[in-house]
Structures are given as C-alpha cells and as structure tokens.
Amino acid sequence: MSSESTSFREEGAAAAGANRFFARIIARLVSPPEHGRRVSAFIVLMMAGVIGWLYVVTDGVVSLQVFYLVPVILAVSWLGVGWGVGLAFLSALLRFAGDVANSPEDFEFFAYSHLVRMLSNRLSSFLVYLVVVVVIHELLQLSRQLEARVQARTTALRQAVEARERLQNSLLEAGQRERRAIGRDLHDGLGQHLAATAMAASILAKRLATRGDNLAEDARGVENLVKAGIDQSRRIARGLLLETVRPEDLFSELEELAAAATHHHGTPCVLSAEGSPERLDVHVSSHLFYIAREALRNALKHGGASRIQIQFSVGRALAALSVTDNGRGIPDDKAAGGGASPRESGMGLHIMAQRTELIGGKLHVGESPSGGTRVDCRVPLAAAA
C-alpha cells in the first residue's frame, strides 16, 4: 500500500512539474517579445530556413517535420495569425523542396503518381500546421483574455481597497470633528455655566456665613461639587479636543494618561517607555496614543482591572505598544461581564484594529499572563536614511 502511495505521489509530482513547465512556456509565448516585429519576422524565417536546410543536408534521413511547429507557433504568438498561416505554407513548401532535393537521380519529377504523392503529403503537413495555428491562436486569445480579466479584477480590488481606506479615514475624521465639537461645547458652554454656578454658590455661602446661617456649610458643599464637575468636564473636554499627538509629546501624553487613570480611577497604572519617539510621524504617534487610551479605557470599564501596565518602545525597525491588565479578560459573545454589553466591548476592539490597520501595523488581543487582557500593537518603521 505504501509503495502504491509513493508511486502515486511521484506521478502526481511529475505531472505537476510538467504542468508548470508548459505553463511557463505558454506565459512566455503570451508575453510580447522584447524585440520588434522585424526582428521577430527575421527569427521565425531563419528558423524555418535552417530546419529546411538541415533536412536537405541529412538527405532526408531524419524527418524534421515536427520542428517546423516551433517557428509556426512563434509566428502566431509574436506576429499574429496571418504570419502563422504564412509560416505554415512556407514550412510545407520547404518540406516539399527538401523532398525534391533528396529524391533519387532516376526519380521522375513530373510523373503523375510521384508528384501527386509528394503534393498530398505536403498538403497534409500544411493542414496539420493550419490546425496548430488555429489552436495556438485560440489558446493565446483565451490566455490574454484571462490575463486581462485578472488585471481588471486586480485593479478593481486595489481601487476597492483604496476606497475602503479613504472611507475609514473619512469616518475617523468625521468622528474626530464630532469629538472636537462636543469638546468645545463642554469647555465653552457647560464649563462656563458650571463656573458661573460655582461663583454663585460661593457668593451665597459668604452671605449665609455673614448672617451666621447654618446653611453656609451646605452652600460651600454645593460649591465644591460644582468645582469637581468643572474639573471633570475640563478633563473630558481635553480628551475630546486632543486631535493629534506630536511624536515629541507622546511619552508625556502617555505619562499623563497613566497618571489620570491612577488618580481618578484608583487603579495603579504603570508606564515604561524607551526609545526615540521622534522617529515616528504625527499620524503614527496619534493613532498609537489613541490605541493605548482605548485599551486603558477597556481595562478600566469592562475588565475590572486592579493593575494596568503600559509598555511602549521605539526601535530601529519597530514601534511596540502593549497594555496589560489583571482583570476579567476578554468577554465572550454571550456575556461581556461587569455590566458591559458585547457590542460595547467589541466596538473598542474594532476601533483599535482600524487604527492599527491605518498605520500599517498588526494588533493582537489575547490573555495576559496574569489572567487579564493583553493588547499588543506592532508598527514597522521605515529604515533610517
């Protein structure tokens, strides 16, 4: 059984090799020649002439009829079907001339039987060549049509990918415009309104204090709550208005991001950064910051993490970002956990994946060694000049 399997595999390998060989020949024939039509015509005519001369030199001992197929096929491929028909006729004519040249001395050329026999043989050769011309012409036409379809589909696919990338950029730009608009409304509208409210509460507390009213402490409590709301609205507005992150500011922005998570959420967030972020451009540094912020947000909101670590490095050929937490891990499709819906949890992963794709990187989200979630983003960098 094993010997039969081995034999079968060897036969299959041989057939595959033969198919690749003929495929290369057909591809070579289909592709236009590097030389011009005059050189192509000279080559095929010389080949036919050399084959006819060899037939005469060998006194017709070796039949070279099959070799005429080579210039015939090349003529069809390089010069067209008309030249193929012409080479087929020329090949038959050279073959007839070789038969005449190699005839015995006592051969009666004009004898009806001899002449008919030679003409019928060369006519059959000419018909065979014509069949080859038609078959090769059809094969070449089909191959060229297939190549044209492949090129058209490749062009359409490339245009679709470019359109998709443009759409992704447009959606991100539209989203950032909306974020900036909301941030300005928070900062200029709600922030000023809360500031006026805090001032009014402060004035009220002072008036109540001068009267010795016990409600003065309550008024100061309201003032403090309003001031806390002002701080929170400013933080939200700053995050919404942060459109781009310059490479030289990336480390400081990540430090502030980690410090804000530690201070406001009570979750220790440690940042370790190394390398030269100046090698990045604004596009890459901005997306890396937003990826880190989204991963941190997911860890705090959906993962229930008690410790988060952000690692960022910029090497000669790679920028690497990792956000690791010890939370509940990635929620499945049925239960996101912690009150978060699968749709909310999956949207953050989708946003990070889109941002990674836009900067030509690779994103991997999996389980961390501590049992939580680890987000890895790797972006290849262009070699330094």
Q: Give the tens place of pLDDT for each residue, 116-143.
A: 777 888 888 888 889 988 988 888 888 8
pLDDT attached to residue 364: 93
Judge if 249 and 358 occupy the same domain: yes
The more confident residue out of 72 and 22 is: 72
Q: Mean pLDDT over residues 237-248, rounded?
A: 68
- The pair phi, psi for residue 243, each rounded to 5°, is -85, -55
Position 129 in a domain: yes
pLDDT, tens digit, for every residue of 290-301? 899 899 988 888
**Where a domain ends, among 92, 125, 159?**
159
Indicate if the pLDDT at residue 251 is higher than 80. Answer: yes
Q: Mean pLDDT over residues 147-173, rounded?
A: 84
pLDDT attached to residue 302: 79
pLDDT attached to residue 341: 41
| CA 319/CA 13 separation, integer angstroms | 44
pLDDT, tens digit, for every residue of 314-336? 998 899 999 999 888 765 543 33
Q: Mean pLDDT over residues 81-92, rounded?
A: 90
| CA 223/CA 258 separation, integer angstroms | 29
List, in sequence order, every residue forming a beta bridge with 320; answer none if it has no partner: 313, 378
Indicate if the pLDDT at residue 73 is higher than 80. Answer: yes
Judge if 118 and 264 occupy the same domain: no
Domain that holds residue 155: 2-159
Confidence of residue 273 (pLDDT cuts 50, 70, 90): very high
| CA 48/CA 42 separation, integer angstroms | 10
Can you give the three-state secondary structure of 191-253, one letter per residue? HHHHHHHHHHHHHHHHHHHHCCCCHHHHHHHHHHHHHHHHHHHHHHHHHHHCCCCCHHHHHHH
pLDDT attached to residue 343: 45
Can you give the three-state secondary structure of 136-193, one letter per residue? HHHHHHHHHHHHHHHHHHHHHHHHHHHHHHHHHHHHHHHHHHHHHHHHHHHHHHHHHH
**Please, how many CA atoms are within 13 Å of residue 153, restricted to the half-sphere of its CB?**
5
The more confident residue out of 32 and 30 is: 32
Position 215 in a domain: no
Mean of pLDDT over the chain: 79
Judge if 262 and 385 occupy the same domain: yes
Position 8 in a domain: yes
pLDDT attached to residue 99: 78
Task: For residue 156, give both structure tokens.
Answer: 């359409």
Total domains in the chain come to: 2
Position 212 in a domain: no
Position 180 in a domain: no
* Single pTM value for the model: 0.46
pLDDT attached to residue 379: 94
Position 264 in a domain: yes
pLDDT, tens digit, for every residue of 332-384? 543 333 333 444 456 778 888 888 888 889 999 988 877 789 999 999 987 65
**Please, how many CA atoms are within 13 Å of residue 86, restricted to the half-sphere of its CB?**
11
CATH assignment at residue 315: 3.30.565.10
Indicate if the pLDDT at residue 45 is higher than 70. Answer: yes
**Where a domain ends, among 159, 190, 220?**
159
Q: 262: which residues sit within 8 A by CB, 6+ positions away?
A: 268, 269
pLDDT, tens digit, for every residue of 181-226? 776 676 667 777 778 888 888 888 888 888 888 887 888 888 888 8
pLDDT attached to residue 342: 41
Q: 19: which residues sit within 8 A by CB, 6+ positions away?
A: none
**Please, how many CA atoms are within 13 Å of residue 237, restricted to the half-sphere of its CB?**
17
pLDDT attached to residue 328: 82
Do residues 41 and 82 touch, judged by C-beta distance below 8 A?
A: no
**Where a domain ends, among 159, 177, 212?**
159
Judge if 267 and 382 occupy the same domain: yes
Indicate if the pLDDT at residue 5 is higher than 60. Answer: no
Percent of the chain with pLDDT over 70: 77
Lowest-confidence region among 18-27, 81-90, 203-212, 218-227: 18-27
DSSP reduced 3-state for 311: strand
